[in-house]
Structure 1
């Protein structure tokens, strides 16, 4: 779709049409995966407002090691369909504290409430920086401290690497070291939040905490959470929706893309995992038909798709969980895209003005 075309539906107004056309213009899915990852952060990064403070931190590796111990026990039944590299972190676990300046006085005291945030991006895009449009508002409106984690992304790190990092971040909040600068936080004063893949990861995390007997947080906010990586719901295959959907019509949203160091390594690792699964012949944890088609998620093998910590919608039960609020954030995305479009147009106008003045 281009801006010169008519909207696909008569009900679309000009703003929605421009927003979707602009979204498609970036066409991240045709770029090498590492370029798409960098561009996504660059395009979505916003300036820090004057009333907000951002403190970047690097978590001690002991939190991730403790998380690995929990995951090794909790995921033992699925180990035959998982890549082992998740236990070998390719970078330290980063995060950022976000809070309103008026809350700064409580930094060294027991925090009243904390939001543990997990960003969206289909598990292969995004960072705390790219999703600050949400975290800044959480801090401002909820008058809470937000801790947003930079969990590892696919295809460089596949499931359960993000789950490992989200559990590690939660353990950091519950039992911080002296160097953290704050006292242990009551889990009931912590709320998980995330959008899209981040919402799915948040729900997957509380499911894992419940199943392993770890303390549960006080609640969860999921904004259009991604809870079914099998894409089994009828709307995904609806021909009418296909006419207006701005996401690519393919399972998993993107293929690995053009050859690059990351893409080439992924292909080798995916082949090794496929060979391992064929040798182990594990009990298939998803519909048998998925073994008859090529792998379609960068995040995991087809045989792992129905693991509840990958597709929480397929969990046997959502009982004994804290309160959950699920909302749609589609219109928030539209507003963001419109702001980016305005920024782009203003940049072009200023560039043209400079050229005219120079001549």
Structure 2
């Protein structure tokens, strides 16, 4: 059991961090903190404490298991658990078609198979306190209660973050319920398959199953068909990545695989009304300058390996799921696939985004900001209506971890407004927006605007060169790792 799952364990972990907490408070109070003028006391403490927990020293299986333990449903939310039945293999065939159409060079990946997809319908529940449990009624009855309070015809398809190997819809219920409260929408939160057991493109296959299940509900579904123009994709971090690659896949399939057989019906590939993202992870190689420059404001540690050395994977105790055999350097994908656009959206050319629906990106002054800004710049240059809001001094996914703060509320208000406008057709595809980043100052004390073309001081060519260099480093590391594994295997025979 995780140390944080019992009061004694939690108390021990807090006591271990008392010196860190006191030091942070002291330096902040005398204005000698490195983030003075960018983060208030609460934000700086939150970042420091979360950073101290992100050591990743236990086996991957234990980390994964601890991160997906269901705390139960209570408070102002309705949750109705569903399983979306397995469709025909055509969904997987479509994903593979998109991968093959977009790949450049030798790209290898696993064939994941098509499986049933678990998900949770989530909505806001009014008139209860934070400790009120859900009534003991059927999942269908919970959905009906949810539907009574989530009256809008919009549906948000939500993909959680967690580096593609951690977390679950259960970890994101408070944030998703807040989004439902502000939009009046039902939210389908997807339990996609996690790496390393299910590497790329398993999550993308599951995401496409979930999207098509909304459009064309399988027999026995609780919901009625939802038109694509009433659906908004939303997600945070790795879930933001999944939103973007799902959108890229749909944009590609419209030309190369325009209909998909789904539970006995031929369903045309259509686009959603919009995409709303929180701190999207767009670069699996972590090669943009902000991973170092903005790490002071973030709990995500910068890369520590020397590029002159052989690249090595995350060092953790072995278990039955990691390292995989033969080994790879990345939990999610083979090294030669890291620059595929359906793995790292930053790597795709700008033309891939042509005709995309409106996109909203909220981010902090964080490690992942450059990659999100580069993707936004490409979208804008391709004619996509893209809205970018960056919050000064705020860390990765700040809206989810600091829901009740002024910045957190501002994040949810901005996301909800975008979702409503996208579904209402107020920002239709092809609309020319200003192409500015709205930079929201410390403590919401004002805003100023930065042209997207100037938001990252790198040209597309310089971005591509960084990506290629970092990906090649990882590829060479993976080849060496596999050579060592084969030698050890032969030695044991």
Q: Place the TM-score, normalised by the shorter chain, in its bin.
A: 0.7 to 0.9
Q: Are positions 1:250 and 2:303 aligned together?
A: yes
Q: Are positions 1:196 and 2:237 aligned together?
A: yes
Alignment of 1:125-274 (within 5 A): 125-213=166-254, 214-238=269-293, 241-250=294-303, 255=314, 257-264=316-323, 266=324, 268-270=325-327
1:302 corresponds to which residue?
335
- Seen in structure 2, the aligned counterparts of structure 1 residues 251 and 116 have a Cα distance that, compared at 3 Å, is farther
Q: Which moved more, 1:154-163 or 1:97-106?
A: 97-106
Q: Indicate conservation of the 8 Å contact 1:34/1:262, yes or no.
A: yes
Q: CA deviation at 1:270?
A: 3.0
Runs of 5+ consecutive residues of structure 1 not aligned to the other structure: 272-294, 339-359
Alignment of 1:40-51 (within 5 A): 40-42=67-69, 45=71, 47-50=73-76
1:17 paired residue among 44, 47, 61: 44
Alignment of 1:13-162 (within 5 A): 13-42=40-69, 45=71, 47-50=73-76, 52-62=77-87, 65-76=89-100, 78=103, 81-87=107-113, 92-100=116-124, 104=144, 107=147, 112-162=153-203
Q: CA deviation at 1:233?
A: 1.4
Q: Indicate conservation of the 8 Å contact 2:214/2:226, yes or no.
A: yes
Q: Indicate conservation of the 8 Å contact 2:124/2:178, yes or no.
A: no
- Seen in structure 2, the aligned counterparts of structure 1 residues 29 and 49 have a Cα distance that, compared at 3 Å, is same
Distance 1:256 1:183 in 2: 47
- TM-score (ref. length: structure 2): 0.56
- What is the CA deviation profile of residues 164-206 of structure 1, one whole-angstrom value per residue up to 9, with x for unaligned ones? 1101100111111230033221000000000111011101101
Q: Indicate conservation of the 8 Å contact 1:28/1:36, yes or no.
A: no
Q: Which moved more, 1:309-318 or 1:324-333?
A: 324-333
Q: CA deviation at 1:328?
A: 2.0
Distance 1:53 1:16 in 2: 29
- Seen in structure 2, the aligned counterparts of structure 1 residues 146 and 190 have a Cα distance that, compared at 3 Å, is same
1:191 match: secondary structure: strand
Distance 1:113 1:16 in 2: 33
Distance 2:315 2:84 in 1: 30
- Seen in structure 2, the aligned counterparts of structure 1 residues 155 and 53 have a Cα distance that, compared at 3 Å, is same
Q: Indicate conservation of the 8 Å contact 2:122/2:173, yes or no.
A: no
Number of residue pairs the alignment of both structures matches:
305
Q: Which has the higher helix share?
A: 1
1:179 match: secondary structure: coil
Q: CA deviation at 1:242?
A: 4.0
- Seen in structure 2, the aligned counterparts of structure 1 residues 260 and 211 have a Cα distance that, compared at 3 Å, is same
Give 4+ residue runs of structure 1 displaced > 4 Å after superposition. Answer: 44-47, 77-80, 105-108, 251-254
- Seen in structure 2, the aligned counterparts of structure 1 residues 194 and 46 have a Cα distance that, compared at 3 Å, is farther
Runs of 5+ consecutive residues of structure 2 not aligned to the other structure: 1-16, 28-32, 127-142, 255-268, 306-311, 365-394, 406-493
1:348 corresponds to which residue?
none
Distance 1:298 1:320 in 2: 32
- Seen in structure 2, the aligned counterparts of structure 1 residues 17 and 54 have a Cα distance that, compared at 3 Å, is same
Q: Indicate conservation of the 8 Å contact 2:147/2:186, yes or no.
A: no
- TM-score (ref. length: structure 1): 0.76
- What is the CA deviation profile of residues 103-123 of structure 1, one whole-angstrom value per residue up to 9, with x for unaligned ones? 947959x97110000001111
- What is the CA deviation profile of residues 48-101 of structure 1, one whole-angstrom value per residue up to 9, with x for unaligned ones? 324x221101111116x3321211222235495333242275xx4110111245
Q: CA deviation at 1:234?
A: 1.4
- What is the CA deviation profile of residues 202-254 of structure 1, one whole-angstrom value per residue up to 9, with x for unaligned ones? 0110110011012000001011111121222111233xx44454223338997
Distance 1:45 1:246 in 2: 24
Distance 2:40 2:224 in 1: 50
Q: Are positions 1:321 and 2:356 aligned together?
A: yes
Q: Indicate conservation of the 8 Å contact 2:238/2:281, yes or no.
A: yes
